[in-house]
Structure 1
Amino acid sequence: MICSLSYAQNSQKDSAYFYFKKAIEFSNNNKHFGAYKNYIKAKNIYVYLNEIDSVAECNLELFELIASQNNLEDNSKPYLDDYYEYALKKNDSLKLLVASNSYASYFWDSDTIELSIKYYKNSLRLTENIKLRKYRVTVYANLAYLFTKTKTDSASYYFKKTLSLYTKEDKNQLFATYINYAVFFQKQNKFEEAIIQLNNAAKIEPTAYKLKYNKILYGKFANCYQEIGYYKKAYEAYEKYNIYRDSLNNTAQNIAISDLDVKYQTAEKDKKILETEAKRLKNRNLLIGSLLFILLAGTIAVLSLKNSKRKRKLAEQDKELETQKNLTLLKEQELTTINAMVDGQEKERKRIAEDLHDNLGSVLATLKLHFENLKMNREKKKINQEMLFDKTEGLIDEAYLKVRSIAHAKNAGVLANQGLLVAIQMMAEKISSADKIQIEVIDFGLDKRLENSLEISVFRITQELITNIIKHANAKNATINISLYDKNLNIIIEDDGLGFDIKKVNLKNGMGISSIKTRVSHLGGTFNVDSTKGKGSSIIIDIPIS
């Protein structure tokens, strides 16, 4: 009876382990619903068996899975709470540290940022107990980022603490931290201090992703030098940026083609091995058949049948090889088609009508807001008239420069130097400066550049949606929430304007929405609108990043 019970328990453990491993496999393949269901099945069995360590592991995996996804209708926090209680009972400093860091990431949002900072500080206390430099430096880096949104003095302190913990071997981390420190100073318009940090990064030679890192570095250099009027240095930095960008693009394409060549050559070798083996077996069978023809006629028939099967296998291998050749050619054609499509998109965007709609729309809308302010304050003079005139004149100059650039531009404009996030932030600052609508930009995970044509498409889509808010929503506030997580770019644009009854509006009509939906669909993404009359609107866009 005892043996029977032990066997049943082992069988259940095997089932739970099977579900757990299957959940990990689903998660690695971005099949999140399958992963969630299998984690739940594994956890239920472990609960029944009172395997508390395994239950805790399932709780932690469920928290991380649900917290990273928007389409799983479950609250992630109870799973983390259960894991935290388990870590407390175990009095395990490392598990408590994992729980504290997970709480910090859960409260990462701007509304609960103070809670996130509290848990990261608790993580620092725990790292002192277990003396893990790797965890400690990661916590310092996260605190530095969070304090950039609240207390700049504290952010600078934690950046310095992060840098002090790196060793000479941590070249990639040092390089990235100096770049982030420079971006922190850029956002405060302290471009000279940003250049100091960029120079520190330039002294380090990364051990990986050299082309990508140097492309980012010289892009930042060009922007900072331009802002302080050092145009010669800005031009030199921009030239280096172009060199690294072109090298990076060429390397990526050559790697893709090289991989296809390797697969083709491997298939050729496999075919030759099979042919040689088949010839050897055929000769052996013929020799045996000639010696035993009279006595072993039945054996000869069997061997002939086996030989026929091998021939069919060779024929199937030939067919598979031909298919592989076709796939190789298709992949090469696909690469050529993709490059041609990207070039065609860029040329099309240089057409005057498209640029007038996408590039000048937001500037002219902002300019209109400034003129309305001038009209309203002409008598009341609640706002400094001289300042309004200066801002309006600046926008007119900018509009002129954009019109001029349409005729002469040979690249993607603001995105070529600064990237998607900085371009969106600059757009939001310019529009907000008109004092008619305040636009906040919230970002997460955009610590590296995306592919150039994708950045341009996303910026144009965002720019057109903000222009629509200015023209039609009569909103006071708007938010652009852009995040990159697990190879998925998520953009949420919200406003507190008039809103509309989505059931009574045909979204297929109108050039703006129809055009945006077409662009998002072309990028393989999804586009959703959520609006209630009198309560504002939300636009949600999800674009997969390959």
Structure 2
Amino acid sequence: MWNRFDDKSLMSLWLCKKLWILPASFFAGSIYAQNDAKLISIEKAIQNGYVESSIKDLNKIQPKTLKKADQAFYNYIFGQAYEQQNKSDYVYSYYLKAKELYKAVDSLDKVAAINLDLAFLIDSQKNNTGKAQHYADEFLAYAKSTKDSKKLARAYAQLGSMNAGLHDEKSLYYFTLAIKQNQIAKDTDIEIGLNNNIAVLHNEYLNQPDSGLYYLKKNLPLIVPQQKYFELCNNYINQASSYHHKKDYKKAIEYLLKADSVPNKQKVKILKSYIYEFLSLNYKLSGNIAKAYDYQQLEYIYSDSIQYDKQNIAIADIQTRYETKEKELENKLLKKENKIIDNKHKASQNLFYGAVALLFISIVIAYLITQNLKRKQKISDQYKEIEKQKLDKQLGEMESSAIDLMLEGQEKERQRIANDLHDNLGSLLAALKLNFDNLRTKNSMPIHDKLYDKTDNLIQEAYQKVRSLAHAKNAGVIANQGLVPAVENLAAKVTIPGKFTINIFPFGLDERIENTMEISIFRMIQELVTNIIKHAEATEANIHLTQHEDSLNIIIEDNGKGMDTRTILRKNGMGLKNIEKKVEHLDGTLTIEAYEGKGTSVVINIPL
């Protein structure tokens, strides 16, 4: 006995016989407020087993008087009613109408829910799994688009049921996916359905009735406290199936009798018919022929009752067609009367239409005048926009020229500072070291040697720093070699063995870049290297130069003390602002990643 994965509906299977069970409406909770109250009460009556009276009530309603959404709901619950009576062709027709109407009002969630109903309905017919797959796939695609775990669980569960008996491993795979999704959704009804259908798969196709019993007994704590009598009846029938496959006919009979005693109100005649048929079968196999005969007679009574109901339904269908024809005739008479009334008022209407025509012409003239004014205004706005673009272009060219002049001035200033550092402060430190060495030689005393050594080291360190800064400021892009040799030359000059090392990693720079851009990029790298020497207290730095198809990527990183990026950009230091300005001038981007005590990384991307 299979569970159907719309909101709360089931389908039974016993020894390859399938039985449709009335689906509960997928219009749950707050959605009820969107539908006609009369239709909602009829749907509840159908779910409680009052099918015939519900069909009569539906026939009394004029669907065209309803809103389009209510028309869709009307067709859907009509399908529910006929599903209770096993009239699958009618069910299919009404579900299709409901689907099209829901499409018209853009209610995609309900369209998807009906796709799942149609997949289940078609799959229950012989040799129709392929057609059912189309609707199941539509529902699955919608569920994936919404990323709704509940919908995904239902979709995978339906695919698991459809593949049972055809591709059992695939069936188990889909059930597993459904279980994972429902662990997120935490829907009790889906969990009950999954346990039930996995049990049927084990009973009917995998010949594993013990596994089937495990899943069915697992369901009882979920079903019994909530008094889900329809699910409980199905559970007992499926447990009877498990014991039947174990050839424990006594236990099978026990659970079928339990199913018979459940106060279920849905699909009573059909369920009773099957319960009695299966009781007859198990009594026969257990050797109790008398009981088998008794239940066979009961089964015949319910089967005959079902046939009688079908005859009544056929008569009701004829009556419905007759009432429909009467309504069509009434509509024709009403149209004729309306035509007579229209003729009487024709003169006054012609006058009215003349006035409307005059008003329409006035509106058209006013519209044309307005459009002409708008067109003139649009032309004026376009002219202003063109003038603004020209001004922006001129300002951009002026800014570009200013930046070029600034870069040229910076080049000259760097040269002057480097020369001053090397010629003046460098010479003074060299002279200081010679005088200090002479003084140390003349006044050498063991007690003062430690102090002399420390002072000598400080002088030597100061000299090396001045030398490195001078080289950093004075290094330039070698005109006949390009960016990479210039950076390598800079690295060689500022490297101090054992104290500070710069590693260069070029990639893809096989051809020269435009010379002005090379100089700008080099000066940015030079400024960043100077900052590392002055502030980072680093022992090693890496410079990565990578040329892609249409951009240049520069990464400069050190293992120094790092910095706080939240405050560094707020400082007024000219070096970093100059770099930002240069990068902006080259239409590039600048990113600084730094953490105190963990070094600094600067990433520059420049389009070529």
**Above 0.5 in TM-score?**
no
**What TM-score comes out, normalization by structure 2 length?**
0.33
Q: Which has the larger radius of gyration?
A: 2
